[in-house]
Every structure is written in C-alpha cells, then in structure tokens.
C-alpha cells in the first residue's frame, strides 16, 4: 500500500533559508547582534552604541562613540518643507495613521538628501546615520500636528532615546523613562530576515536607493502581524480590562476568545517557540517604570501577567516582545498609534545595515512560485 508524506507548509517562506548575513543571528534561545547577545546589550550598552555596532560593524571605542553621537545629534533636524508637509497631511487627513505619515516623511527626506541616489558604501553610511537621527523628529512633528500644537526642536543635550520621547510628548523625560526607552530601542533594533527587513533587502537588491528601501520596510512594518502587533496587543488588553471592569474575569474573556478563535495579539513567534527572551527584559523594565513613576499603571502589568499565565496553561504559547511593549509604552503615556513608529526609530538601524550589506554583495532577489491555476486553455475555445 502506498504511503503519502505530508509536505511541510512553506507558505510565507517558513523554515526557508534565503540568504546569509553577518549582522544578526536569531535562534530558539538566542538573539545576537554582530556577536553580542541581546541580554548583554540591554544590560550594558546604550542605543547609540548598538546603532554604531549595527551600522559601522563593530563596538565603538570611546572616541568613535563620541563622534558618532555628535553626528547623530547634528543631523536631527528636518527641513521646514518636510515639517510643513507633515502638518498639512494631518490637517487635511486627520485620520491618517502615524505610520503612513512617517512613510511619507521619509519619502520627503529622500528628495532633500543630496546623496539619495548615491549607493556607495560611504554615502550609504552617512544616509543611515541621517535617517536614524531624523526619524524621531518626523515622528514628533506628526504627533504635534495630531495634537494641534507646534513641534518641539530636537535637543542636542539629550540622548537618542530621551530626544525621541521629547519629540513625541513635548516633555523632558526623567532618567527611568529614558532608560526604559533606550532598552526598548535596543531590543527592537534588529531581527535578521523579518518581513520588513526582507522587504528592504528585496528593494535594495534591484539597486534602488536606501530611502526607497526604507519606505518599503515601513509599509511592511505597519501591518498588525508585524510591527503593528504592539498596538494590537495593547488594544486587546484594553478590551480585556473593560470586560473585567464590567464583571467578567480574564479567564472567562480568554475562554470566549479561544472558542471564537479570536486572534490574540502579542503571543507566539515564528522562531521563538519556547519564548521570546526580549519579552521578559522589557516587561521587567516596564514594571519598574510603573512602580516608580506611575503606580496606577501597574494594573496593566498585573492583568498582563494573568493573561500570559492563562495563555501558557491553555495553549502553551509564550508572549513575544510586542506584548510587554504595549503595557510599557502605555504606562509611559505614549499614544498607542505611535508605538509602531517608535519601532521604526529603532529598527531603522537594522534595516540600513541590511540594505548596505545587500548592496555590497548584490544579486537581485527573485524567487520562483509554484503555479496552481487552471490548465492551459485555448482563448478561442471558450
């Protein structure tokens, strides 16, 4: 009797190795940026150091870090034409998602960057630093327009993480808020051939420019199954909290969700089947912030822990980093729609590192597809 072997589901390129990289290694129990494990970086490095590691290719010396940070500070401002365009977009289309504003902002910057069409390694490194420096300003201009206030100017006395918070909120952050944001940026900076990075590499493989590749990556990150998952995870927790306040238990809400096959955001990962170790790092820092700076927000972490325990017990599915991200940013008073743009402010370093790597050893990315459509038919027969 003949037997059949079930083919592995490779939709979405699941389990397929499609290239090599020296930038990042993602495994069941590790996440490594150019030889450094993520927990080590989160505990001991700053985002500026990690950005240098990813973009330049090695851990910076004290002198290199000083120069790199100074360059980023000097490049934070954006031209007035870009600021005016962002304000007009929000004025004429107030429901525009901040990720769409950011995508347009980066596209605008491409027209204002004299090296936009230069794909040489030297020019691309300079463009990478400029993009990393300016994206928080673009985000801040968008949020200011949404709130109907004037945007604040970048503050060169602040670190990248602190300036990002300043740009979004218009308030100078304290030390704990700055550190929490710095850690979150480190955790989100790079993750090998994820959907947005792969998008950037596909675009770069055509020998298109860096700004075009980044715009494509932003479009990919916007989706709720990728970068938008942190927003969706917080929306889910808000829905559960509302149900709890009306008398339903988290367990009952979760059971209803299981029975209706509702997608629960912030759980599961294509690679980390035994848990995303970034999640625990960010959860601990977020809880620390809540306990010190916003005790009322601790209820979100209590609820989050309970929901996580139910998910593990009933489905054996662990949270990913987007799950504690939602609670952490919410405790810090960051508007939910800006969670994914903040992701961009971090991942821009990984994207640009991959774009440069693709350009250095390029071959156009052009996979094949298996045709499953109708059999060949003569047009005049029908």
Q: Cα–Cα–Cα angle for 19, 24, 26, nearest 5°?
A: 85
Closest CA to 344 of 191, 128, 188, 114: 188
Known catalytic residue at 226: yes
Buried b / exposed e over 195-219, threshold 16 CB at 10 Å, is bbbbbbbbbbbeebbbbbbbbbbbe
> CA–CA separation, 331 vs 298, rounded Å?
8
Of these residues, 160, 191, 211, 269, which one is catalytic? 269
Of these residues, 113, 209, 276, 322, which one is catalytic? 322
On whether the CB atoms of residues 140 and 167 are closer than 8 A, the answer is yes
Known catalytic residue at 269: yes
> CA–CA separation, 345 vs 188, rounded Å?
9
Residue 254, CA distances (Å) to 40, 269, 299 in order? 35, 19, 18
On whether the CB atoms of residues 269 and 26 are closer than 8 A, the answer is no
The angle, 0 to 180 degrees and rounded to 10, between the axes of the packed helices 298-315 and 250-259 is 40
Known catalytic residue at 322: yes
Of these residues, 226, 235, 284, 305, which one is catalytic? 226
Catalytic residues: 226, 269, 322
């Amino acid at each position: 009797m003949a037997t059949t072997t079930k083919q592995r589901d490779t939709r979405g390129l699941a389990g397929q190795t499609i290239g090599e990289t020296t930038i990042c290694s993602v495994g069941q129990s590790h996440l490594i940026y150019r030889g450094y494990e993520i927990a080590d970086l989160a505990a001991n490095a700053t985002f500026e150091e990690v950005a240098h590691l990813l973009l330049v290719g090695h851990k910076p010396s004290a002198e290199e870090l000083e120069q790199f940070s100074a360059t980023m500070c000097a490049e934070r401002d954006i031209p007035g034409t870009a600021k005016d365009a962002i304000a007009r977009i929000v004025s004429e289309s107030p429901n525009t998602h901040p990720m769409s504003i950011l995508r347009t902002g980066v596209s605008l910057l491409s027209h204002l960057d004299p090296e936009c069409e230069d794909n040489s390694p030297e020019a691309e490194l300079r463009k990478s630093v400029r993009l990393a420096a300016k994206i928080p300003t673009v985000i801040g201009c968008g949020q200011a327009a949404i709130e109907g206030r004037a945007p604040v100017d970048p503050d060169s006395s602040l670190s990248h993480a602190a300036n990002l918070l300043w740009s979004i909120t218009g308030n100078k952050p304290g030390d704990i808020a700055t550190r929490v944001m710095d850690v979150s940026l480190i955790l989100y900076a790079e993750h090998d051939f994820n959907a947005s990075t792969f998008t950037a590499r596909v675009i770069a493989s055509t020998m298109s420019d860096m700004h075009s590749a980044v715009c494509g990556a932003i479009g990919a990150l916007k989706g709720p199954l990728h970068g938008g998952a942190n927003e969706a995870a917080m929306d889910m927790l808000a829905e559960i909290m509302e149900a709890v306040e009306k008398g339903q238990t988290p367990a009952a809400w979760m059971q209803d969700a299981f029975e209706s096959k509702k997608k629960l955001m912030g759980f599961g990962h294509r690679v980390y089947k035994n848990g995303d170790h970034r999640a625990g790092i960010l959860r601990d820092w977020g809880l620390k912030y809540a306990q010190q700076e916003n005790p009322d927000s601790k209820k979100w972490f209590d609820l989050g822990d309970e929901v996580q325990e139910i998910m593990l017990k009933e489905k054996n599915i662990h949270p990913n980093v987007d799950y504690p991200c939602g609670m952490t940013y919410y405790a810090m008073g960051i508007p939910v729609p800006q969670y994914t743009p903040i992701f961009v402010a971090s991942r821009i370093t990984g994207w640009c590192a991959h774009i440069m790597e693709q350009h250095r050893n390029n071959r156009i990315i052009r996979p094949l597809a298996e045709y499953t459509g109708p059999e060949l038919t003569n047009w005049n027969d029908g």
